[in-house]
Structure 1
Amino acid sequence: MTKRRHGSESTMVTKMATALMVVFGVVSVAGQDLASDTRGLVTFGNYHDPKGVKLNWTNTTSTCSWVGITCTNNRVTEVRLPGKGFRGIIPPGSLGTLSELQVVSLRGNKLREQFPGELGNLKKLQQLYLAGNEYYGSLPDISALWPGLTSLGLEYNSLNGTIPESLGLLTQLYLLILRNNSFSGRIPPLNLANLTLFDVANNNLSGLVPTTLSRFPAESFAGNAGLCGPPLGAVCSGPTASSDTSSSSSKHKKLSGGAIAGIVVGGVVFLVLVILGLLFCLCRGQIEREDSISPTVREITHERPGDIATREKTRERNVGEAYGEEYAIAMAGENTTGKLVSFSLVSFDLEDLLRASAEVLGKGSVGTAYKAILEDGTIMAVKRLKDVTTNRKEFESLIQGVGKLQHRNVVPLRAYYFSKDEKLLVSDFMPMGSLAAILHSNRGSNRMPVDWLTRVRIAIGAAKGLAYLHAQGGPNFVHGNIKSSNVLLNRDREACISDFGLTQLLTGSPSSSKSVGYRAPEVKGSGVSTQKSDVYSFGVLLLELLTGKAPSQPGANGDALDLPKWVQSIVREEWTAEVFDLELMRYQNIEGEMVSMLQIAMKCVDPVPERRPKMSHVLSMLEDVHPFFIENGAEPSRQSESPSEEMVREITKGSQRNSPSDSHTP
């Protein structure tokens, strides 16, 4: 019994010792993981010694604080080193040893090796961006290398061969950009539900565009003379239009001599037509490229001094970058100074912003607006200001004040950037577009009308935003550029005022033709905006909601439409039914509401500034237009009924009768 007990205890001790050794062994290995990652990075950094680029990777600082390195749970998970001038290969035993690496961004370097090289060892890779290098060879079975891949950007390399069908196994793939390589053959029918950004332009691809990919724009397939079918204009003919099976079986059929001759002649004619078509497209594209292609974020930032001389050589690459990926953008030159200053906790910095893809949203009187998609999927709006005349101190003082204005009905300013050559404002992206877009776009049979409830809500939301700005910004705070394109809609279609407080930064008042129809008479003469002129512009906005007409559209004399005068002229001629938007004629029992809003609008557009109400009073009046369905969400029934002509006439006549002596403004 004693021997057995001692033997049992000895066995237990042995097992415990073994378990402890395993535990300590695991801890020891875990403790060496970051050290192993560090060795791999050092191997990479020592091999690549790009001239003029300092990574500042030193043993005196934590690996996770090195430039371009991101860690999670004490492991290196992201390596982002775009545009650093790396040359040659990625050396063995470097990045491929980082077993937890999920994101690699090395675009804009001069790496030259057969794809994928050392990166093929990264089994947990999710995002790979290698655009603008010199990788060559064919694509391997990527689904076997990186089964969890979500983003693959390989544009502007020298890759060839066919696009493997195994890409269709990457069920999480969100982005696939292969443009400007030398891929040939057919495009595989990638049936990927998550695929959002896709581009294979400027390769040697041929055949029918798969129906699973035809949802992408024609630009995603441009530059492949052999491609046909939707969304391209080229119509498929012959074997291309038939299925692969029938095409394969037809190869075994013998052709007569006459048929062969006909095919040869037809082929020559087709080739000549293709060449002529390509020449026409190239000439036309050269003329229209500036206006038709959305720029990348690189075009948001200024050029380096030496870039002007080489700009035309790199234009094709920059144009190509407009179509997708994160497009890693390094700092835009040695003379770029300053940093991104944020007003709230944001998940991105200047480097993240500069390497985001960019899409032009619109060009306005204060600058160009871009939709910027960051690597993590965050979407922001970036405004590149133009004609800014203030110095840094004045600029920052004004923008700091603007950044403090936070309200549900104003577009929040999240960050700004100031340098000698560039001034950028970063704000939330409004996914539903602008009031101008939903009110005036696609006026036709397929249009989705804007109902009365939505219009009233937009009017009240915009009034709340402008009233808040006037109250919180102080008596001298002026928006100065109220118009429907500056009333943006969030996901709930609530109105949010944008571009507020920017006119003081610019040379003179906004001169855009789209702004002219909103300007108060006194501003047209003096160029000085006030809160009263903001009220006038808001009144024009209300008339726009009521009439469905844009003040920026040409009037009878070719000038911008003067909505207040037009409304009065219509009523004078007793064409009252034409005052209101025809889309509103389907609603019953809203004539009084429309007339009430028209009355408010006419008070706002009074030609005498002193007679115009304050925005706080305008808001109160608008909230009384239809308080029941605004508060309870009940929508009026829809039947055709014309508004009372006498009521409309009385309103417009009343606005004409008023004079400074008998009018009172709260």
Structure 2
Amino acid sequence: MMMYWKLLAAIFPLLSLAMVSSGDKDSEILLEIRDSLANHSSLSNWNASTSPCNGDKANWIGVICSRGKIWGLQFENMGLQGDVNVEILEALPTLRTLSLMNNDFEGAMFDVRKLGALKALYLSNNRFTGEIPDDAFKGMRWLKKVVLANNDFTGKIPSSITMLPRLLMLRLEGNQFGGRIPDFKQSPKVASFANNRLEGPIPASLSHLGATMFSGNKNLCGKPLQECRWSGPMESPIFTSTPDPEDKAPPHAFTLALILTCLVLVLLIIPALVLIYLSRRTQNPQASQGTNAVESKGKKAVRSLEHGKLTFLKDTSQRFDLQDLLRASAEVLGSGNFAASYKVVMHDGPVAVKRHKQMNNEGKEVFDEHMRRLGRLNHQNLLPLAAYHYMKDEKLLVSNYMQNGSLATHLHANSTPWFCPGNNKPSLDWESRVKIIKGVARGLSYLYKELPTLMLPHGNLKSSNVLLDDIFNPLLCDYGLAPMVNQEQIHLFMAAYKSPEFSLKGRISKKTDVWCFGILILELVTGKFPENYLNPNYDTQTSLVTWVTDMVMEKKMDQVFDKGIKGTKDKRIGLINLLNIGLSCCHEDLSVRPELKQVVQEIEQLDDHHDFPSSIPELNFEMSQLSP
């Protein structure tokens, strides 16, 4: 035994020395990587005097750690330039994920094969150019996610990418890839080829994807697009699309709204009937015939109770477990395509529960970390996320219940049929609207400050996601969820993906939230519902911006402002100023669209109760810039 301890005593210093040497070596490699890049001021806290990793915690910006080792490099939104020195990266044997998204890298893509152990590669929103060699991904058997979107790659899609045995996500949209899409040995769950120069039939291995994943390629055909037809020699087919029987003039807005209203009512009535039935069974033990009431009521929000527990993110006096939540009486608030909402009455008061089926983009560890990050946010104009429940196919998000409902209800309830829920809400006066828009601006500004690495700090800003407390302070909800949503279908659920830059170019940016904010402002001023949110893609014909500019050009300003605003004549200057801000936020050209900081400054200058003089300012936007 004594010999054993002596042996350990001799070996332990050597092991410690080896570990220290390994950490020092990683520091040297990272510093060499930093020095090879231009404009690397964002990596200012990289210092050889501290280790990059402390267990799973990173001491250096942009470094992802696991058990004291460098697991990944996340250089996003840093304005980095220069050459990616893959030879230096090779010296990090534990590197598994590399993200260079939203920088200014240019030139040909580096030789990624030298990083054979990579699991994820993110290069989107840079200026990489040229053709990617056909064997660029050969032998990368661990690679699961490849994101090359919004660069200037040309040539054919490399066939080696189709042979990756573990490929789950592939995003190539917004480039200049040409030729046919090759067949995939392993069909990815998420893939986008939109806005390239691809042609020919879509391979069967990708036919399960949505049509928008192939939009913006004029000569693509086959499922899920139109049937392929060609003429001329078989060696050089000319692909055309057969007429789509559904490709007709869009229905009138009222008809479309009526159809959607009926669908929503069906979705509301059926869950309500189920809840009433379940509630009665719970109140009558004999009717349940021994069936556990919790399991019966659990069908309201989850399939069963064996999948985990509620995770609370806030220190609150109201604590309950998942069984308490599912046992309580519930009322259906709404059932949209992104989430079903419930009012659940607990012992200490009601809570709001959202049931999501579209947040399967990441595993539990990543989801937990993201929820904790959102849970740490604290601002008077954000609805705090109180708790959540994770399951693979469903997620529950719990927050405080707002009795006053949403901004959408107050803006549009009086124009809805009597049978729609939430009707007869009082109209908002000018002072309330200014108060609301200022609160929304402040909440957005806080999100931009606290979530700088997210491309979309909010991502789903619209009037139904602006809740009002008892004194009409606005509270933003559904913020920061874009990274968790299935990327293949995110355009169907989130407001930011209805923007012109995504629909026309397949791109989003932080200014996309500004566009959503602009639509919200126009909705607040005009009282009109933005019909463009009802479509899967941006359509200038249903754009609220187009309607406003048409009214101005036709000198029908009296029809622009919401008649429900009391004392509109006295507030005309303020209305025009706010309208100007909203229109500037909705500019299709991102270079002209203002930054959020500038918009917030202009919003803060609005006066909510000043008696205005008789002289009226004119709209100061250029009609040529706003016309589609």
Report the TM-score when normalising by structure 1: 0.46
- Greater CA radius of gyration, 1 or 2? 1
Question: Which structure is higher in helix share?
Answer: 1
